[in-house]
Structures are given as C-alpha cells and as structure tokens.
Structure 1
C-alpha cells in the first residue's frame, strides 16, 4: 500500500518507521526539521532540545524503540531535583528535611500532601476526569496546599488554562513521577541529546524506501473513491498526527475539537549556575514564565561548555507580543544576571504544543480510525492523562498495528 503520513513528530516518525518495512510511505512535515516538540537546536559543538525533555522509568515502549535503533547504550539516569521560587527566594524540595523546612506549607499540609503522593497510583482516573484539579486539591488537601504547591505546578504546565485541568491529569502526573529518592527524582536522558532518536528514525524510514517531505505543509485532504488525496498525491491510506481540528480544516472529518495550548520556550546559555543546583524550579511568584528548567543541573554542564536554562511558558490563542524580551528581562532581574552574561538565546514557539487535559477530556479522544482515515498523536488515548514521549511512541505503534490488522483482513 501507499501510505501518506501528515506530521513529522514522534508519532508520525514511529508509524513511518514501522510501516515502511512493508509499505510505500510518504511523510509530510511543514517545518524544515523533524521531531515537533522533540526537535533540537544544532549548536556549534552540541545539540540541545528546543523544549526540555526527559523520560521516565516506566517508558517501556520508548526503551524498546531505543534498543531497536541501537541507542539504548546511550540512555542514562540522572537525578532531577525540584524546588519552588516563592517570596523572592529559592526553596529546594527534594529531601524530607527540605520539605519540612518549606515555609509555605504547614506540618498538616505536608502530611496531607505525603498521603496523596502515596495513594496516587490507586486513583480512579475515570472518575477524576470529571473533577477539576483545583477543586479536588482544595477539597482534599486545603487551600494552602493548592496555592503554595499545586497551583505553581499547574501554572507551569497549563498557564492561564490551569483551572480547566482535570484531577485525572494531576494524579497521573504525581504517579508517573514517583521514582524519587533522597537525592531527587530519577529521570532518563540520551547522552548527546534526543535528536539522536529523531535522526535514527529518519534514517530508518529513508533506508526502507520512505520519502520525507520537509517544508511541505498539507493544504488539502480529500476522499477519492477508496483512496485519499493529500495535496495532489493519491494514497491508499492516510495517517494524521496533527490536531483533529486542524485536519478538519484541510478536508478531514469534522470531530469535536481537542483543547490545545501553545508553548513558548526561551533557551539561553550562561557561564554560571543560578538556581542553586535545582533542575526544575516552579514559579510560585508571578512571572512571565511558569518554570525555570536548568538543563545543566540535570545533565553535566561540561558536555556543553556552558550552563543551559529553559524558561517555560504556555499560552492560549496568540503568543504575547515581545514575550521573549519580557521573559529575559524578568529572569535577569530576578536571578541577578546581566544580559552581557548570556552567550546566546533562542525562542521556540509552537501554537499546537499539546492538549490541555480539561474535565471530560476522556470523552473527546478520537478512535484511531475515523471515516477511513487514521489518526494518532498527542491527542490519543496513549497520551492521556499525561502526555509523554512514551505516549507518542505507543500511539505510533498502535496506529501501525491497526493498519496492519486491517490490511491482513482485507
């Protein structure tokens, strides 16, 4: 069969990698590079992701893919420390002593929080899908736990839409991040960067005879008998990995829109470390970014020759004008950095960075096959209720399996 794939993110690449063994595959990507939110900057001496990334100990499908692509020897496990920026001060929150010293929570708040963490894996996510996360936390842990601990987390991931997010996402987030010891959370990273995963998938697709069309946006999609037309090319089957509502504008099926948000991520490099050794610093104080992610407090700075920091912000609709300048000015002022100290900076903006897991999201997830068209991506069930590289890999594997099953029946 001839198969067209719309979208060169992780799901589309995995599907093309699998299906390319037995089928003729064309992959369309509107940008000049592959990987979507897992794409990377190619600096002079190293690669660094446009958006911060790590993986988790339970990412079995991702690890199997790495093994298949001869990358598993590069997977390493590092400590990912966390903290909060509150009242103009940095508070590490990794060891029991640090948590006990955190002044924004009372002893009772901390006891309730500890109980919630211990029971997160047993949560009924189907029921929690209908309950707002803020309401759930306030009712079970109190107002102070919400404002001093959970609201900064929700803000760093969902920005102004944080009050719409379901408790299912929140409890899943807590459960997936339970691989934690006294030194911090154990997180995975590919030595040399995740660009190696994208490059290996691209190489595999091409070696199998597939075609990758970068800088080729899909403008029209239409049914032609038992086939599909993508732009002016005929295919037996089409896989779309882009948001369903975007596909609908091209001529795909009309489906209930999936709530999405955009991401604006400012990456910058310095000579020194400024977040007291913390990898992930949530901002409780108001700032034009929700988190400061110090990549080189996770991966040794010696590999880059400088310290790399991400300033993470999410938005709905259009990105705010001059957001990069506002983020930079606030960061420099707040952390005592002069602009002359910044070696370089890059701003990455993706208006379709990922779904917002609002209440009732579970009922919006489309089936893999819709009116003869196949759909999978960050909106799929494998990425709910917590999006991840693992979820995107599994979505690509699932959609390929669906097509192979249908093909064998026919």
Structure 2
C-alpha cells in the first residue's frame, strides 16, 4: 500500500517506522524539524527539548521502542523534586517533614491528601469522567485543599480552562506520579536528550525506504473512492496525527471536535540556580506562567555547562500579547535575577499543544478509522486521561496495526 502520514510528531514517526519497508510511506511535516512537542533546540554543545520531558517506570511501549531503535542503554532514572511558590516563598514538598511544614495546609488537610493518593491507583476513572475536578476536590476534601494544593496544579496544566477539567484526569495524574520516595519522584530521562529518539526514527524510516517531507504541510486533502489525495498525490491509505478539527478544515472527515489548548514554554539559561534545588515548582502566587521547571535540578548541570529553566504557560485561543516579555520580566523580578545573568532565552509556542480533558471527554474519543481516514495522536484513547510519550507511542503502533490488518484483509 501507498500510505500518506500527516504530522511528524512522535505518533506519526512511530506509525511510519512500523509501516515502512512493508508499505510505501510518505510523511509530511509542516515544520523544518520533526518531533512536534518532543522536538529540541540544538545548542552549541548540547541538545535540550523545547518542552520539558521525562518518562515514568510504567512506560512499557516507550521502553520497547527504545530497545528497537538502539537507545535503551541511554535511559536513566533520576529523582524529580517538587514544591510550591506561595506567599512569595518556595516551599519544597518532598519529605514528610517538608509536607508537614507547608503552611497552606492543616494537619487534617495533609491526612486527606495522603488518603487520596492511596485511593488514586484503585479508582475506576470511568466513573469520574463527568465530574469536574474542582467540584470533586471541594466536596470530598474541602475548599482549602483545592485552592492551596490542586488549583495551582490545574492552573499550571490547563490555565483558564482548569474549571472544566474532569476528575478522571486528576486521579490519573496522581496515580501516574505516585512512584515516590522520601526524597522525590522517580523519573526517566534519555542521556543526551530525547532528540535522539526523533533522529533514530527518522533514520530508520529513511533506511526502510520511507520518505519524510519537512516544511511541506498538507494543504489539500480529497477523498475519492477508497483512496485519498494529499497535495495532488494519491494514497491507498492516509494517517492523520493532527487535531481532528484541523484535519476537517483540510478536507478530512467530520468528527467530534476535541477541546485543545496552546502552550508557550520559555527556556532560559543562567549560571546560578534559583529554585532551591526543586525540579518542578508550581506557582500558587499569580504569575504569567503556571510552573517553573528547572531541568538542571533533575539532570546534572555539568552536562550543559549552565542551568536550564523552563517557564510553562498554557492558553486558549490566541497567544496572550507580549507573553514572552511578561514571563521573563516576572521571573527576573520574582527570583531576583538581573537581566545580564540570563545567557539566552527562547520561547516555543504551539497553539495545538494538547487536549484539555474536560468533563465528558471520554465520549469524544473515536476509533482509529473514520470514513476511510486513519487518525491517531494525543486525542487517541491511549492518551486518555493523561497525555504522555507512552500514549503517543502506543497510538502510533496501534494505528499502524489497524492499517496492517486492513492490508491483509484486502489481499485475502
């Protein structure tokens, strides 16, 4: 079969890798680089992801992929520490003593949080899909726990849409991040950076005869009989990894519109560390970013020669005006950083960064095939109710297997 794939993010590359060699593959990516949200900056002496990334101990499909492309020996495990910026101060929240000292929560509040964490892994998420996360927390744990602990987390991930997010996402988030010790959370990272995954997939696809077209967006899509035309070329099958509403705009089949949000992630470098050794610092105090993620409080600074920090912000619709300037100015003021201390800074903006897991989201999920078009990505069932590299890899593999089964059926 001749197969056209729209989108060179992780799901598109995994699908192309699974199908290349057996089928004729064309992959189209509108950007000059591959990887989507897993793409990286190539600095003088190192690579660093445009958006912060790590993996979890249960990511079996990702680990299998790393084995296939020869990168499993580079997977390392480090401790990711967390904290909150509240009352103009940094509060680490890792050890039992640190949690007990956190002034925003009472002893009873902290006991309730411990109870929730224990329950999270056993809860049937399907029963939580229609319940707003804020409503669940307020009704079951109280207003203070919501405003002092969960609202900053929801704000850092979903911005102004946080009140629409379902409790299913929240419980999934708690469960996936429960691999903790008294010093922090056990998280995985690829030594040298995740750009190696993208590069290895690109090379493997090309070696198997697949063609990758960078800076070549699909601008024309037509369905004729059992085939699709992309930019005037006929394909026996088409795979889309872009948001369903964007696919529909190009001429793809009508389907449920998945609620999406945009992300603006600023990366900056400086000589000193300003978050007290904390990797992931949620902002409880109002700021133009929801979290400060200090990459070099997770991965050793020596690998980069400077400290690397992400400022993470999410938005709906258009990018807020002058967001990059406001983020940088606020960071410098809040953490007492002089402008000359910052070696460089860059901002990555993606208006379709990922779905927002609103109440009722589960009913919007569709299968991989719709009116002759195959679709997979962050909107697939494998990424519900928490998007991840694992979910994107599984979506790519599953949509490839769906196409493979169709090919076998057609031949028989």
Category of TM-score, reference length = shorter chain: over 0.9
Unaligned runs of 5+ in 2: none
Name the residue aligned to 2:249.
Answer: 249
- Matches of residues 139-218 of structure 1 in structure 2 within 5 Å? 139-218=139-218
Asked if the contact 2:21–2:210 (Cα under 8 Å) also holds between the matched residues in 1, the reply is no
SS state of the match for residue 103, structure 2?
coil
Unaligned runs of 5+ in 1: none
> 2: distance between equivalents of 1:75 and 1:399?
26
Q: Cα offset for 1:220?
A: 1.3
Q: Cα offset for 1:123?
A: 1.0
Name the residue aligned to 1:81.
Answer: 81
Name the residue aligned to 1:32.
Answer: 32
> Residue by residue, what CA displacement relative to the aligned partner does 1:157-196 show, whole Å, maximum 9, x if unpaired?
0001000000000000000001100110000000000000
> 2: distance between equivalents of 1:188 and 1:256?
34
> Residue by residue, what CA displacement relative to the aligned partner does 1:281-316 show, whole Å, maximum 9, x if unpaired?
000000000000000000000000000000000000
> Residue by residue, what CA displacement relative to the aligned partner does 1:117-147 show, whole Å, maximum 9, x if unpaired?
0110111211100000000000111000000
> 2: distance between equivalents of 1:223 and 1:52?
38
2:7 matches 1:7: yes
Please say which of residues 116-125 and 383-392 is displaced more in the overlay. Answer: 116-125
Name the residue aligned to 2:268.
Answer: 268
Q: Cα offset for 1:406?
A: 1.2
> 2: distance between equivalents of 1:68 and 1:136?
42
Runs of 4+, deviation exceeding 6 Å: none
SS state of the match for residue 159, structure 2?
helix
Q: TM-score, normalised by structure 2?
A: 0.99
SS state of the match for residue 187, structure 1?
strand
Name the residue aligned to 1:48.
Answer: 48
- Matches of residues 2-401 of structure 1 in structure 2 within 5 Å? 2-401=2-401
Q: Cα offset for 1:367?
A: 1.2
Q: TM-score, normalised by structure 1?
A: 1.00
> 1: distance between equivalents of 2:106 and 2:21?
58
SS state of the match for residue 343, structure 1?
strand
> Residue by residue, what CA displacement relative to the aligned partner does 1:182-241 show, whole Å, maximum 9, x if unpaired?
110000000000000000000010000000000011111111222110111110000000
> Residue by residue, what CA displacement relative to the aligned partner does 1:249-286 show, whole Å, maximum 9, x if unpaired?
01111112100000000100000000000000000000
Asked if the contact 2:30–2:215 (Cα under 8 Å) also holds between the matched residues in 1, the reply is yes
> 2: distance between equivalents of 1:261 and 1:223?
29
SS state of the match for residue 349, structure 2?
strand
Q: How many residues align?
A: 410
> 2: distance between equivalents of 1:256 and 1:394?
21
Asked if the contact 2:10–2:393 (Cα under 8 Å) also holds between the matched residues in 1, the reply is yes
> 1: distance between equivalents of 2:128 and 2:225?
43
Asked if the contact 2:227–2:237 (Cα under 8 Å) also holds between the matched residues in 1, the reply is yes
